[in-house]
Amino acid sequence: MPELPEVETVRRGLEPVMAGRTILKAENRRSDLRFPFPDHFAERLTGARIERLDRRAKYLLFRLCSGETLLAHLGMSGRFTIHLDQNTEKPGDFAHAPGTSEKHDHVVFEMEGGAHIIFNDPRRFGFMTLFQTGNEEAVPFLAGLGPEPNANDFNGPFLRDQVKGKKTPLKAALLDQRLVAGLGNIYVCEALYHARLSPRRLAGTLGPQRAERLAQAVRQVIAAAIEAGGSSLRDFASAEGELGYFQHSFQVYGREGEPCLAPDCTGTVQRILQSGRSTFFCPTCQR
Ligand code: ZN
């Protein structure tokens, strides 16, 4: 499932072929994904120029000259692919990444400049909607989101203030999108590992130093993953291909039973269930 760094990688991949360009033709091939498309979806996009591509948490925000914003969420399996005109045999003859099928191509944008942008989503947990730009607080997906991990206002004192008196485990606290926006299961595990804090520790027990350590770990883990995504983009060469899914090297996530990678630790990575989801951590060095 894509998390913030993957979505940011998608944004950076789409930007060169979409920002500043007009959508010559938009097409939704079914009436719904996770939610129904808004009324006249394709008509409202066709002919609109995309002024800017933003991201908030795990949402892509395409700012249109029409005064509307297209919000897109990748869900569990959604992916954007870019197909450049000169590389296709004939119009509509699109290459597909392994494991994806043309029948899951649900939305297609024909861009000024020749790129075709395809949204493919086999499980259809992704969605797209339109709202009036500037009206973010009225959009349920965006209202009440906490700061971005790399925002200046996400820091130790903020974190400590938000979790004061909380008896929820740190893992659950960091997954709460009101505390910090865009973190999911994978990067919460990684951040807690980098901060050497147990996912089971009660959030309210964070002192100033631990809170600062955790805020910095969150920023570092996210920044490193975005950097890794950027490298994967450069590998596309022609900026054509599937965006946002790249090879990661995780320190604890998915490494149950393997040795802890901290040089001063002889512990073993464990997996536990918290709120029904897997947590990976090293019980020896994460306290
Ligand atoms: Zn360890």
What whole-number distance in Å separates Cα of residue 95 and Cα of residue 87? 10
What whole-number distance in Å separates Cα of residue 112 and Cα of residue 100? 26
pLDDT category at 15 given cuts 50, 70, 90 is very high
Average pLDDT over residues 46-74: 97
CATH number of the structural domain spanning residue 58: 3.20.190.10
Helix axes 208-234, 185-194, angle to 10 degrees: 120
Q: Catalytic site residue 2?
A: yes
Number of domains in the chain: 2
Q: Catalytic site residue 166?
A: no
Burial class (CB in 10 A: 0-12, 13-18, 19+), 122: middle
pLDDT at 88: 47
Catalytic residue (one of 38, 112, 277, 283)? 277
Residues 133 and 162 in one domain: no
Residues 213 and 175 in one domain: yes
Residues with CB under 5 A from ligand 1 (ion): 260, 262, 265, 267, 282, 284-285
Is residue 56 included in any domain, yes or no? yes
Average pLDDT over residues 45-60: 97
Residues 122 and 219 in one domain: no
Cα 3 to ligand 1 centre (Å): 25
Is residue 277 included in any domain, yes or no? no
User: Number of H helices and number of E strands within the chain?
Assistant: 6, 11
284: tokens are 């020896």
Q: Catalytic site residue 58?
A: yes
Residues 33 and 127 in one domain: yes
Strand partners, 247: none
Residue position matching structure tokens 């395409």? 62
What's the whole-number average pLDDT of the chain? 90
CB 34, CB 97: distance < 8 Å: no
Q: Catalytic site residue 164?
A: no
Is residue 276 included in any domain, yes or no? no
Residues 72 and 169 in one domain: no
Residue 249 lies in domain: 156-253
pLDDT tens digits for 81-103? 888 766 544 434 444 555 567 88
Helix (H, G, I), strand (E, B) or coil at 188: helix
The C-alpha R_g of the chain, in whole angstroms, comes to 20
Is residue 145 included in any domain, yes or no? no
Residues 72 and 196 in one domain: no
Q: DSSP code of 260?
A: P
CB 197, CB 213: distance < 8 Å: yes
Lowest-confidence pick of 88-92, 133-137, 242-246, 268-272:
88-92
pLDDT tens digits for 123-134? 999 999 999 999
CATH number of the structural domain spanning residue 236: 1.10.8.50
Q: End of a domain among 138, 173, 189? A: 138
Cα 97 to ligand 1 centre (Å): 37
pLDDT at 94: 45
Residue position matching structure tokens 């991949």? 13
